[in-house]
Amino acid sequence: MPIEYDAVVVGSGPNGLAAAITLARAGCSVLVCEANATIGGGARSAELTLPGFLHDVCSAVHPLAAGSPFFRRLPLEKFGLTWIEPEIPLAHPLDDGSAACLYRDVDLTAAQLSADSSAYRRLMKPLARNWEKLANEFLQPMLHLPRHPWTLARFGIPALCPATLLAKFLFRREPARALFAGIAAHSFLPLESIASSAFGLVLGMAGHAVGWPIPRGGSQQIANALAGYLRELGGDIEVNRRVENLNDLPKSHAILLDVSVWEFLRIASGQMPSAYRRRLESFRHGPGIFKIDYALSEPIPWKAEACRHAGTIHLGGTIDEIAVAERDVARGWLRSRVFSTKRAPRGGNTRCGRTVTSRSIAGSTCRTAWSLKSSDSLRVFATASWPATK
């Protein structure tokens, strides 16, 4: 049987499309197979509630996409990808009606943290200044020879600390501690875990270096732009092409799988050594996510004015409240707590976790609360949107 493609990629998430683009730019013929009717994997958007209300199916805010050395070398703007840059990348409302904010400018962020301004500046300014060097180090396989070892060490030493330990050691007041803890909670790890600070540092310095931007039109636009560029390079994409077995694919020199472990086992178990198959069969996913989507009649009436201008809102309370909630997730059950709200101005979407309370919302008595118990750990998010015409 003759070779039809140099490479076939199964799965059209951003990683699969990026791999296909890399091969196509090297002159290879490439086919991408997607089981669903829409490409994108976790970078998809759809009208999940009411007509005109666009929600992101999974990811919403993309600092690491905007700051990725690979993505920044691609002409994705030519294929319709533009970024919404909120005035304030992140706000963390507190019970007293104020909010701790992550601004693009490190000094501005530090200034509103009052007693902790010097400590915040010392921590984040060198990291943000070296974003390009650090991004090239940690946005690649862990095992590699670092090109900037001293810069990486300056990041790596605090990054290894548990988030609660680092925040309470460096900061004296709750606003700075809560701001850092809310960012670090994106790790899906208990904040007492080793290296949980790494997520807070990476996403924090990304906020200063490249912002926390939102794709205009939703995350689907990232996938659409990647697909458009791939097609310009001569690559092919087939949707509604569910692969049941690797033997179903066209003959090629290489097959790349951008799929979950379980899908990998389903379609390729017959072609892998039994020992490796057993290792994959014992793989356990991290915490699951349960997402609720809301259609809003108007923007949320936050008490803190900064929240009305922020692209991302973290509803988590104090560092201790966030730590308890993350610990509960790790233990396999979920209490009524709040984690993260993400909102894009004009037609964007909101993502919040655990419980949406009225404490940070002016004149609001509504409360969305739930208590879930499960044999598997679970995180709860909610997304809310209003039409772009509003």
- pLDDT recorded at residue 1: 59
Phi/psi for 166 (5° steps) reads -65, -45
- pLDDT tens for each residue of 26-44: 999 999 999 999 999 999 9
> pLDDT class for 290, splitting at 50, 70, 90?
confident
How many other C-beta atoms can be found within 10 angstroms of the C-beta atom of residue 27? 9
Centre a 10 Å sphere on the Cβ of residue 31 and count the other Cβ atoms it contains. Answer: 20
Other beta carbons less than 10 A from residue 320's beta carbon: 15
Mean pLDDT for the stretch of residues 341-349: 36
Q: Among 48-57, 314-323, 336-345, which is the least confidently predicted range?
A: 336-345
Residue 251 is given by DSSP the state P
- pLDDT of amino acid 359: 52
Give 215's contacts (C-beta < 8 A, 6+ positions apart).
Answer: 62, 81, 82, 83, 84, 221, 222
pLDDT at 351: 38
Residue 194: pLDDT above 70? yes
- Are 28 and 7 a contacting pair, CB within 8 Å? yes
pLDDT of the residue at 29: 98
Residues with Cβ < 8 Å from 376, sequence gap 6 or more? 287, 288, 332
The per-residue pLDDT for 242 is 95
pLDDT band at 208 (very low <50, low <70, confident <90, very high): very high
Residue 367 is predicted with a pLDDT of 30
Residues 234-256 pLDDT 10s: 999 999 999 999 998 999 999 99
Percent residues over pLDDT 90 in the chain:
61
Strand-by-strand arrangement of the 88-93 sheet: 99-102, 88-93, 310-313, 341-342
Res 378: pLDDT: 47
Identify the weakest region by mean pLDDT among 28-32, 87-91, 174-178, 271-275: 271-275
**Poorest-confidence range of 325-334, 350-359, 379-388?**
350-359
At 286, is the pLDDT very low, low, confident or very high (cuts 50, 70, 90)? confident
Report the C-alpha gap between 378 and 44 in whole angstroms: 22
Alpha-carbon separation of residue 311 from 10, 120, 302, 306, 340 (angstroms): 33, 21, 13, 10, 11
* The pLDDT of residue 379 is above 70: no
- The pLDDT assigned to 6 comes to 97
287-312 mean pLDDT:
86
Residue pLDDT, tens place only, 76-127: 999 999 999 999 999 999 999 999 999 999 999 999 999 999 999 999 999 9
Give the pLDDT confidence score for residue 146 in this predicted structure: 76
Average model confidence (pLDDT) for the chain? 84
Please name the residues in contact with 28: beta carbons below 8 A apart, sequence gap of 6 or more. Answer: 5, 6, 7
Residue 174 pLDDT grade (very low, low, confident, very high; cuts 50, 70, 90):
very high
Residue 82 token pair: 């533009």
Instruction: Look at 342 and 87; give whichever has higher pLDDT.
Output: 87
Between the alpha carbon of residue 172 and those of residues 134, 157, 177, the distances in Å are: 28, 21, 8
Token pair listed for 362 = 């002016």
Q: Which of 64-68, 235-239, 269-273, 385-389 is the least confident region? A: 385-389
DSSP states of 361-388 as a string?
A: BTT----B---EE-SS-EEEEEEEE--T
Provide the pLDDT for residue 342. 40
End-to-end CA distance of the chain: 57
Min mean pLDDT across 146-155, 189-198, 318-327 is at 146-155
Query: How many Å apart are CA 205 and CA 180, to the nearest integer?
Result: 11
Residue 353 has pLDDT above 60, yes or no: no
Task: State mean pLDDT over 362-372.
Answer: 35
